[in-house]
């Protein structure tokens, strides 16, 4: 067995996994609180990438230095996307909170299509080059042929975001309120939790992680267009389901498992069947653990 090849595929899967994870975290948070699959999440990611591109363009013209541009662009993307997330929730999901779940789902698909076409019309349908904002670190040079600097940055960011989110949910006041809202909205409202505010915060945080993902991934891949959110969103959704939707470590684990499955299937079998293996694996997991790898099974009381 060729261990170097194995390691390369393993690291490739890890990169792919952390890309999916950055998007999957937002999916799983929103689902955990209001049990809504937010299909517009991929579009928030795309909008984040576009915002960063515009800010980068302006700042590069002004001649700022690289790191400052990266930080400012990421900040702008996070703020702008969070505003979108907040507004979408108020306009498209809040009025449907007591409607059947299917209505909210269709509303989500509608928002997704709207945002895609909005960016298509307001910006362009072309592929745009995205500047590589993550510098090539000197100390990564010896291993650059198997693991690049941007991959390292994405991996570390994913880990930090996951730890921060876990901390937020486990140890803060708003986190406690989130957990209470997730368990029972009515009861949470009865004990004085502002449920609307909690849900808004969830959307803002989820959108912020997606925007961060948008900036890093676009910088890694080097190109964006209005359609990138759709494919990335679908894959991240699969990853979230695989890991157990609603669970934050689950989303990250599911993303890595999906990334590795795709990477090894491509490496050892054929990339023609990359997606086939990814989805076969999903079916396989769901047969034995219907709630996902780390998901808790809930029993419906009638």
Partner 1 sequence: MICILTVNANTVIYTKFCIIIIFLLTIIKEDGIMNWNCSRKALVVTIMTIFALMAGGALLFSCGEAEKPVEEEKVLEPIKIGVVGPHSGDLASYGLPTVKAAELVAEHRNAMCGVNGRKIELVVVDDVCKPEVATNMATKVIGEKVHVVLGHICSGATKAALGIYNDSKIVAMSPSATNPALTQSGDYPNFFRTIASDDAQAELEVNFALNVLKLKKIAVLHDKGDYGKGLAEFAKSFIEKDDRAELSLYEGVTPGAVDYSAVVQKIKQSGAEAVIFGGYHPEASKIVSQMRKKRMETIFISDDGVKDDTFIKVAGKYAEGVYATGPMDTTSNPLAIEATEAHRKKYGDDPGAFFLNAYSAALALINAIEKSCSTDYDDIVKALRSEYVATPLGIIRFDNRGDAIGVGFSMYQVQDGVYVELK
- Positions that interact with partner 1 (CB under 8 A): 2, 5, 8-9, 11-13, 15-16, 19-20, 126-129, 144-146, 148, 150-151, 217, 220-223, 225, 227-228, 231-232, 235, 262-264, 266-267, 270-272, 274-275
Q: Which is nearer to partner 1, 35 or 274 (CB)?
A: 274
Minimum distance of partner 1 from residue 129's CB (angstroms): 5
Q: Which is nearer to partner 1, 157 or 202 (CB)?
A: 157
Tokens representing residue 302 in the block:
């009638």
The CA-atom distances, in angstroms, between 130 and each of 52, 60, 181 are: 9, 12, 39
Tokens representing residue 201 in the block:
């915060």
Q: Which is nearer to partner 1, 184 or 275 (CB)?
A: 275
Minimum distance of partner 1 from residue 112's CB (angstroms): 16
For CA atoms 26, 31, 32, 34, give the dihedral sign. positive
Q: Which is nearer to partner 1, 9 or 115 (CB)?
A: 9
Minimum distance of partner 1 from residue 94's CB (angstroms): 31
Q: Which is nearer to partner 1, 107 or 209 (CB)?
A: 209
Closest CA to 130 of 220, 44, 62, 48: 220
Minimum distance of partner 1 from residue 195's CB (angstroms): 35
b/e code 158-179 from CB counts within 10 Å (16+ = b):
beebbeebeebbeeeeebebbe
Instruction: Tell me if residue 129 falls in helix, strand or coil.
Output: strand
């Amino acid at each position: 067995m060729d261990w170097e090849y194995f390691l390369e595929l393993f690291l490739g899967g890890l990169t792919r996994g952390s890309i999916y994870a950055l998007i999957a975290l937002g999916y799983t948070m929103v689902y955990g609180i209001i049990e809504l699959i937010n299909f517009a999440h991929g579009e928030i990611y795309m909008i984040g990438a576009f915002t960063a591109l515009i800010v980068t363009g302006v700042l590069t013209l002004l001649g700022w230095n690289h790191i400052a541009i990266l930080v400012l662009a990421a900040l702008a993307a996070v703020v702008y996307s969070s505003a979108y997330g907040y507004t979408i929730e108020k306009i498209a999901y809040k009025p449907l909170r007591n409607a059947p779940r299917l209505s909210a789902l269709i509303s989500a698909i509608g928002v997704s299509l709207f945002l895609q076409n909005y960016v298509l019309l307001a910006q362009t349908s072309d592929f745009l080059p995205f500047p590589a904002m993550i510098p090539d670190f000197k100390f990564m040079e010896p291993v650059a042929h198997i693991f690049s600097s941007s991959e390292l940055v994405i991996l570390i960011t994913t880990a930090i975001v996951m730890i921060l989110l876990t901390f937020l949910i486990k140890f803060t006041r708003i986190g406690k309120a989130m957990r209470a809202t997730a368990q029972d909205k009515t009861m949470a409202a009865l004990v004085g939790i502002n449920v609307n505010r909690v849900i808004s915060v969830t959307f803002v945080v989820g959108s912020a992680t997606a925007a961060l993902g948008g900036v890093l991934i676009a910088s890694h891949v080097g190109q964006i267009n209005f359609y990138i959110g759709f494919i990335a969103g679908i894959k991240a959704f699969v990853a979230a389901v695989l890991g157990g939707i609603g669970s934050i470590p689950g989303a990250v684990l599911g993303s890595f498992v999906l990334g590795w499955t795709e990477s090894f299937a491509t490496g050892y079998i054929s990339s023609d069947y990359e997606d086939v293996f990814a989805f076969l694996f999903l079916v396989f997991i769901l047969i034995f653990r219907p709630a996902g790898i780390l998901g808790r099974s809930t029993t419906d009381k009638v």
